[in-house]
Amino acid sequence: MPASAPRDPAPAASRPRAATRAYSGLPRWIYIPAAAGALFVLIPFLGILARVDWLHFVPLITSASSLTALGLSLETALASTAACLVLGVPMALVLARGPVRGRRWLRSLVLLPLVLPPVVGGLALLYTFGRLGLVGRWLDVLGVHLAFTTTAVVMAQAFVSLPFLVVSLEGALRTAGGRYEAVAATLGAAPTHVFRRVTLPLVLPGLASGLVLAFARSLGEFGATLTFAGSLEGVTRTLPLEVYLQREVDPDAAVALALVLVVVAAAVVGVAYGRRVDRAAGA
Amino acid sequence: MSFRMRAAVGERGVDASLDVGDGETLALLGPNGAGKSTLFDLAAGLVRADSGRAELDGRVLFDAASGEWLPPHARGVALLAQEPLLFPHLSVLDNVAFGPRASGVSRTDARTAAAHWLGEVDAVALAERRPAQLSGGQAQRVAVARALAAEPSLLLLDEPFAALDVAAAPALRRLLGRVLAGRTAIVITHEVLDAHLLADHVVVLEGGRVAEEGPTAALLERPRSRFAAGLAGLNLVRGPATAESALFVAGLGEVVGVVPAGDEAPSSGDDAVAVFRPADIAVFRPDDVPHGSPRNAWRAVVRELEPRGPQVRVHAASPGTALVADLTPAAAAELDLAPGTDVVLVVKAAAVALYAA
């Protein structure tokens, strides 16, 4: 589960700062597999760094097709993150707080794209919104064609990223509980006012980490995009698709672009994580 | 701003009515799980009633029969919980300004109002702080100001002192005594002192039902429920009257007392209660019970001894009845009391108040 650790609404100031002084109770051997796991994640990055052709690095990543792919990636990832925000926040609220029957089924359904192979997700989108798809044939009548457009890229990304935001935010909402909202209501605040002034601020850290996860997932989206949107330069060929394509023709370019993806992803996570540390320490 | 509610919630086993006059404060007493908080949730709109109706100030809050139901924010019912629940992301001032802001007042005016209410609870100095920087007592004071700033027609206080340490409670109690004057309010409490200081009327809730109600002083002086008697620090026994000044208690026997002036004497066969102070009970070993003036003597078994200030509280029971008696430590030692000791409890008839239940 990619559920972030939702920060509870308790005051940050009351947290113990000297965590290293407390007795952890961990068996010593546990550090060995933990370290092995960390290395397993870290060493491949070194592998990429070692393979980068530093001499031609800048020309490789600033080639026209690279820049186009990077721009398209950032654009579509931002758009799909926005879509996740608009659709995912209400979904998380209903799942966490709404008086819904069959909540467990609903949640499983919402989380499906998380465990589904992205290619399958892409196929599902294609047979739904494609020209001959379930919904697509009606859209076709209206003159709307979604498949193999930039919109399709955004849709594919949103489809796979949405669960990340929903899971993360729902966890934060559950941890926060509904007591502040009840108090706010008895103080005369209508539900929308409570949502804006109480609920959202209280779960902001959870929302932020959900958005970061959704953005990062969108940025790396490959399978669903390729299946539903294809790989048209400047239209649907995002950075991961460009990397995969270049791997065949120009491995050096592929590695350089891969490094760019790593750096962008690391920056996104770093910015979000760093900000949360600041909040915790400075509150 | 009078409040009147009758409500039942099946799944919580609650079926009770409350009635608070304009500007009056009602104390809601009762053991844990009696349904006190459920009644609050019903009044505030956080729980729906299966049946019943509530009116505040002539407005219908809910009416299960007609399906009318006002959402919590439209009721004018503010709820102050055991925990202050200040919004952690807002400053103290903005917490207090929350109610006015929610009702559409401009930010500046809301802050002015908030400053006024912070003044009422002596917390102006805390205005710029975050809730995390407040002590428990300060936070609860700010919560009081926040509730008042919403200008509720009915204020509900759910054990406002429960989460406070002993040192902080008296100041808040004085403060509430001041701000509740002239306000329509209900306060849930376990402290007889709160009932006396804050409330005009008392309702005792037991098992989701109203066990008794009445003016605070009268009810606590002449309780008719075991719970109220316990709160008032009195023994209470109940049974059918056998004469004008005697009743029969199963397991204990005949209880002889005096009907206090102004109280209703029970008719023979009707339910009556007898009330007496723990200090008026004398404890004897069964073999040296004195004889003499009209008095009650009941056999019982010591269950527990509990130090209580300068005295020892003896919990004694006969089948079906539990009584407490207060002795000096010397007397308790001389009697060599221990759990399981057979004793005779003796009370002068003049020390037993007996009246119709």
pLDDT tens-digit readout, A202-221 = 999 889 989 998 999 999 99
Neighbours of B310 (CB within 10 A): 8
The residue among A188, A111, A98, A21 whose CA lies nearest residue B71 is A188
Among the ranges given (A6-10, A47-51, B142-146), the one the predictor scored with the smallest mean pLDDT = A6-10
A18: confidence class by pLDDT, cuts 50, 70, 90: low
The residue among B198, B186, B193 whose CA lies nearest residue B152 is B186
Predicted TM-score (pTM) above 0.90: no
* Residue B45 contacts A where some CB pair is shorter than 8 Å: yes
Residues 241-280, chain B, touching A (beta carbon < 8 A): none
> Which ranges of chain A does DSSP label H, i.e. alpha helix?
31-51, 57-61, 64-97, 103-115, 118-129, 136-141, 150-176, 179-186, 191-194, 200-202, 204-220, 223-229, 239-249, 251-282
Residue in the structure block whose two tokens are 């929610």: B102
Give B102's contacts in chain A (Cβ within 8 Å).
184, 187-190, 193, 197
A192: confidence class by pLDDT, cuts 50, 70, 90: very high
A282: confidence class by pLDDT, cuts 50, 70, 90: very low
Please indicate whether, in this complex, the C-beta atoms of B99 and A188 are within 8 angstroms of each other: yes
Q: How far is CA A202 from CA A162, A176, A181, in A?
A: 21, 7, 10
Q: What is the pLDDT of residue A276?
A: 54
* Residue A178 contacts B where some CB pair is shorter than 8 Å: no
Give B38's contacts in chain A (Cβ within 8 Å).
none
Q: What is the pLDDT of residue A19?
A: 57
Give A9's contacts in chain B (Cβ within 8 Å).
88
Residue A190 has, within 13 A of its CA and on its CB side, a CA count of: 3
User: How close, in Å, is residue A25 to chain B by CA atoms?
Assistant: 29
Residue A105 has, within 13 A of its CA and on its CB side, a CA count of: 3
B16: confidence class by pLDDT, cuts 50, 70, 90: very high
A74: confidence class by pLDDT, cuts 50, 70, 90: very high
The hierarchical CATH code for the domain A49-282 is: 1.10.3720.10
- What whole-number distance in Å separates Cα of residue B354 and Cα of residue B357? 9
Please indicate whether, in this complex, the C-beta atoms of B79 and A182 are within 8 angstroms of each other: yes
Q: What would the two tokens of residue A65 be?
A: 């097709």
Q: Hey, is B295 helix, strand or coil?
A: strand
User: Is a pLDDT exceeding 90 seen at residue A266?
Assistant: no
User: Is a pLDDT exceeding 80 seen at residue B333?
Assistant: yes
- What whole-number distance in Å separates Cα of residue B231 and Cα of residue B29? 9
Q: What is the pLDDT of residue A274?
A: 64
Nearest CA in chain B to A13: B132
Mean local confidence (pLDDT), B197-214: 91
Q: Hey, is B129 helix, strand or coil?
A: coil
Please indicate whether, in this complex, the C-beta atoms of B85 and A11 are within 8 angstroms of each other: no
Categorise residue A3: left if φ over 0, alpha if ψ from -120 to 50, beta otherwise. beta
Give A186's contacts in chain B (Cβ within 8 Å).
44-46, 72-73, 75, 77-79, 150, 152, 156
User: Is a pLDDT exceeding 90 seen at residue A222?
Assistant: yes
Residue-averaged pLDDT of chain B: 90
Return the percentage of chain B with pLDDT > 90, whole number. Answer: 52
Nearest CA in chain A to B86: A180
Q: Which of B78, B89, B133 sits opposite A187 (nearest CB)?
A: B78
Please indicate whether, in this complex, the C-beta atoms of A202 and B89 are within 8 angstroms of each other: yes
User: Is a pLDDT exceeding 70 seen at residue B336?
Assistant: yes
Q: Which residues contact A258 (CB under 8 A, 6 or more apart)?
A: A48, A243
Q: Which helix (H) or strand (E) holds B306?
A: strand B295-308
Q: Count residue pairs from A and B with Cβ separation < 8 A.
A: 86
Question: Domain map of chain A by residue range?
Answer: 49-282
The residue among B42, B20, B39 whose CA lies nearest residue B30 is B39
* Residue A42 contacts B where some CB pair is shorter than 8 Å: no
pLDDT tens figures, A20-48? 678 888 899 999 999 999 999 999 999 99
Give A179's contacts in chain B (Cβ within 8 Å).
81, 85
The residue among B227, B183, B209, B153 whose CA lies nearest residue B39 is B209
User: Is a pLDDT exceeding 90 seen at residue A229?
Assistant: yes
Asked whether B49 and B9 are in contact (CB, 8 A), the reply is yes
Q: What is the pLDDT of residue B293?
A: 61
pLDDT tens figures, A101-141? 888 898 888 889 988 999 999 999 999 999 888 998 999 88
Please indicate whether, in this complex, the C-beta atoms of A188 and B150 are within 8 angstroms of each other: yes
* Residue A281 contacts B where some CB pair is shorter than 8 Å: no
User: Is a pLDDT exceeding 50 seen at residue A281?
Assistant: no
User: Is a pLDDT exceeding 50 seen at residue B180?
Assistant: yes
Q: How far is CA B337 from CA B14, B307, B317, B320, in A?
A: 42, 13, 14, 21
Asked whether A198 and A64 are in contact (CB, 8 A), the reply is no
* Residue B157 contacts A where some CB pair is shorter than 8 Å: no
The residue among A232, A203, A237 whose CA lies nearest residue A222 is A237
Please indicate whether, in this complex, the C-beta atoms of A183 and B81 are within 8 angstroms of each other: yes
Please indicate whether, in this complex, the C-beta atoms of A11 and B77 are within 8 angstroms of each other: no
Nearest CA in chain B to A15: B132
- What whole-number distance in Å separates Cα of residue A259 and Cα of residue A44? 11
A283: confidence class by pLDDT, cuts 50, 70, 90: very low
Mean local confidence (pLDDT), B224-236: 87
What is the distance between the terminal CA atoms of chain B, rounded to a whole angstrom? 32
A8: confidence class by pLDDT, cuts 50, 70, 90: very low
Asked whether B205 and B12 are in contact (CB, 8 A), the reply is no
* Residue A185 contacts B where some CB pair is shorter than 8 Å: yes
B26: confidence class by pLDDT, cuts 50, 70, 90: very high
User: Is a pLDDT exceeding 70 seen at residue B55?
Assistant: yes
Mutation choice for B interface testing from A8, A183, A194, A197 by most B CBs within 10 A: A183
Mean local confidence (pLDDT), B242-265: 86
* Residue A188 contacts B where some CB pair is shorter than 8 Å: yes
